[in-house]
Amino acid sequence: MDKNRTEGAKNQVKGTVKEVAGKITGDKAQELEGKAQKTVGKVQSEVGKAKDNARH
């Protein structure tokens, strides 16, 4: 499994936590930061999947 896939999954989880924390506390900046990190994680996971597919 490509490293990007695991790092992407981590970023998605961290982003979700930040987003939820931002919603709970009413901190829009933290909420948006979480959404952005989640998106980065999704892209990173897709890059990892593509690399894995290219190897096989």
pLDDT single digits (tens) 41-55: 999 999 999 999 999
Q: How far apart are CA 33 and CA 18, in angstroms?
A: 7
Q: Is the pTM of this model over 0.95?
A: no
Q: What distance in Å separates the CA atoms of residue 40 and residue 48, rounded to the nearest whole number?
A: 12
User: Percent helix, strand and coil across the chain, each rounded to 5?
Assistant: 90, 0, 10
Report whether pLDDT(9) > 90. yes
Q: Which two tokens stand for residue 35?
A: 């959404």
